[in-house]
Structure 1
Amino acid sequence: MTVTISQTAEIQNFFKEAAGFGNDQGNPRFKQIVLRILQDTAKLIEDLQISDDEFWKAVDYLNRMGSGQEAGLLVAGLGVEHFLDLLQDAKDEQLGLTGGTPRTIEGPLYVAGAPLSEGEARMDDGTDPGTQMFLHGRVLDAAGQPLAGAVVDLWHANTNGTYSYFDGSQSEYNLRRRIVTDAEGRYRARSIVPSGYGCPPSGTTQEVLNQLGRHGQRPAHIHFFISAPGHRHLTTQINLSGDKYLWDDFAYATRDGLIGEVKFIEDAAAAQARGLNGRFAEVEFDFQLQQAKAPTAEQRSQRPRALQA
């Protein structure tokens, strides 16, 4: 037997009261959002005949997800973060804002305040035995001209697939740097080839993915914030070629135009010229920014992010 009461005037008025519509205090926008959450939750419970046991298991899940700080991982894994990119793409297209390097998800592992360098930087602290990687490229404007003074803020995982700050075994800001482009719009970074990673096997995100019959693996990738005066801020990442999960990224971050081609170089003379004894890798990737139509477009979102002490 299906019983529905959520659309009755009595219940709708009850939800409005719960959402604070009976007073003139608080935040009107927040009240509107909470009311919609209450209405949609009630309709979901009725339409799918959610049992009490299912409901309270969901509440328990939210408690455990919060304590494990996996909310950012879950919204990526369920494709919600990618949906936000697709929605913004559609808004841009409607406004005629096209061209430039594609955006893609930020992910939950950015840390603000990385060391700032002019033109080039070494990102690794020398303790990871991974293959040395030389990453370089240019930042260009909409007309393809180099942008001097652009800030390339980049971060990536180590060979174990973990990130500094979230992995206490790594040094402060390991594999995290900000580089100001030179007069030719170039940036250069020496680092190590990162590894992909998976969701914590016993974590709450993988718990959901298991119920969906999905894996929780990401390909090797490098995150970027690119910014320059007069240009739209770009949040993006490049997924590295040759990875098993390149086009099977659980976070749906791989997009056309965002594949970083990794060239492994075995030449001893070339290695010696770079002060190395063996094999190394090169990745070249250019970024093209759109012109900012308003000053606010130059700034990244106000999404809360970790700040290293």
Structure 2
Amino acid sequence: MASKLVASPETQAFLDKVAGLDQPGTGEDRTKRIVRRIIGDLFATIDEFDVSEDEFWHALNFMASAAPEFGLFAAGLGFEHFLDMRMDAADAEAGIEGGTPRTIEGPLYVKGAPRSKGFARLDDGADDGEVLIMHGRVVDKDGKPVAGAIVDVWHANTLGNYSYFDKTQSEFNLRRQIETDEEGRYKFRSIVPSGYAVPKGGTTEALLDLVGRHGNRPAHVHFFVSASGYRHLTTQINIDGDPYLHDDFAYATRDDLIPPIERKADPAAIHAEGLNTPFTEIAFDFTLITAGEAEEAEASSRSRVALAA
């Protein structure tokens, strides 16, 4: 409940002015109402917790310095997961069921990764991590294959670092796009990734420290899966057994996105993959939902790094 000061006619009229609600016919009404709600809630927070002038400017200075890590803020403060919760709730309300569960994108995608048909090798061979073979199909809700779907995959190396953001890695290392074959199949060879933590000494870590939380993510592999006429799917799978599997600072873990992990050591399996060492295998199918509107087939409009392959 708003304080006496915030609820006063004087402050309420002031909020109307700040948000432009006293100027009908100008600007965008929805934007005005959103701005008024946000500022009014912040006014109420300042008053309720007796935030001092110095505390206010300290917080604003902190947010200014945090700008490079806003993508981590969106994940770590639960905004990305809450957006997924809202979309899940809307689907449930509309009776839309099935499909691979969505989960957060995170801030480390790079557009323009090389594309191949059916199979791709993601790693450049510089990391001696355990080989990962992942394969499966892209299908519709009836289990029919979706040929020509694009499986856009990216993940961290064994140090928890992503290419482009980690300048020691080659361009597009551990990033590829794979077009499914006539049976909807995709397959890739890579390395088993490690989880990561938010940057040491950064603003995300500082904020999480203040609220008594860690900034660790379990090992995972990100995916965009898209095909004409189907909803764009943003999701990721987790590597089972990771100590942070159900304690992800970004709240991205979902039970249906923890596929079984098989470690293959028999010579026949090793030879069949053209390898000379044991490897980890993950089989996982993606199920797409038919798009109801054209915009559902597109990724969100968040800002992303774009490079040419």
TM-score (normalizing by structure 2): 0.93
Q: 1:175-230 CA distances to partner (integer Å, 9 max, x unpaired)?
A: 11111100110001111111111111211111111122221111110011111122
- Distance in 1 separating the partners of 2:164 and 2:15: 41
Confirm or deny: 8 A CA contact 1:264 1:280 kept in the other structure: yes
Confirm or deny: 8 A CA contact 1:227 1:233 kept in the other structure: yes
The yes-or-no answer on 1:232 pairing with 2:231 is yes
The yes-or-no answer on 1:53 pairing with 2:75 is no
Q: Which moved more, 1:200-209 or 1:52-61?
A: 52-61
- Distance in 2 separating the partners of 1:288 and 1:60: 45
Shift of 1:72: 1.3
Partner of 2:30: 29
Shift of 1:12: 2.5
Partner of 1:286: 285
- Distance in 1 separating the partners of 2:32 and 2:76: 28
- Secondary structure of 2:5's counterpart equals coil
Partner of 2:17: 17
- Distance in 2 separating the partners of 1:36 and 1:246: 36
- Distance in 2 separating the partners of 1:116 and 1:29: 41
Partner of 1:5: 5
Shift of 1:280: 1.3
Partner of 1:220: 219
Equivalent residues in 2 for 1:149-188, closer than 5 Å: 149-188=148-187
- Distance in 2 separating the partners of 1:16 and 1:113: 45
- Distance in 2 separating the partners of 1:128 and 1:290: 36
Q: What fraction of aligned residue pairs are identical, expressed as a percent?
A: 54
Confirm or deny: 8 A CA contact 1:234 1:289 kept in the other structure: yes
Equivalent residues in 2 for 1:67-86, closer than 5 Å: 69-86=68-85
- Secondary structure of 2:88's counterpart equals helix
User: Structure 1 residues 308, 25: closer, same or farther in 2, change over 3 A?
Assistant: farther
Shift of 1:25: 4.8
Shift of 1:18: 2.6
The yes-or-no answer on 1:129 pairing with 2:156 is no
Amino acid at match of 1:226: V
Q: Which runs of 5+ in 2 are unaligned?
A: none
Equivalent residues in 2 for 1:238-257, closer than 5 Å: 238-257=237-256
Confirm or deny: 8 A CA contact 1:70 1:204 kept in the other structure: yes
- Distance in 2 separating the partners of 1:120 and 1:240: 21
Aligned pairs, how many? 306
Partner of 1:209: 208
Confirm or deny: 8 A CA contact 2:3 2:48 kept in the other structure: no
Confirm or deny: 8 A CA contact 2:3 2:44 kept in the other structure: no
Amino acid at match of 1:175: L
- Secondary structure of 1:257's counterpart equals helix
Q: 1:24-74 CA distances to partner (integer Å, 9 max, x unpaired)?
A: 5544433332222211110111122222232222112101211xx111111
Q: Which moved more, 1:290-299 or 1:167-176?
A: 290-299
- Distance in 1 separating the partners of 2:3 and 2:198: 39
Confirm or deny: 8 A CA contact 2:146 2:184 kept in the other structure: yes
Q: Which moved more, 1:16-25 or 1:247-256?
A: 16-25
- Distance in 2 separating the partners of 1:3 and 1:193: 53
Amino acid at match of 1:5: L
TM-score (normalizing by structure 1): 0.93
Q: Which moved more, 1:11-20 or 1:217-226?
A: 11-20
- Distance in 2 separating the partners of 1:260 and 1:176: 20
Q: Which runs of 5+ in 1 are unaligned?
A: none
- Secondary structure of 1:166's counterpart equals coil
User: Structure 1 residues 3, 269: closer, same or farther in 2, change over 3 A?
Assistant: closer
Amino acid at match of 1:76: A
Shift of 1:87: 1.2
Amino acid at match of 1:20: G
- Distance in 2 separating the partners of 1:21 and 1:86: 31
Q: Which moved more, 1:156-165 or 1:19-28?
A: 19-28
- Distance in 1 separating the partners of 2:18 and 2:264: 63
Shift of 1:267: 2.3
- Distance in 1 separating the partners of 2:78 and 2:173: 28
The yes-or-no answer on 1:41 pairing with 2:42 is yes
Shift of 1:22: 5.0
- Secondary structure of 2:57's counterpart equals helix
Confirm or deny: 8 A CA contact 2:113 2:176 kept in the other structure: yes
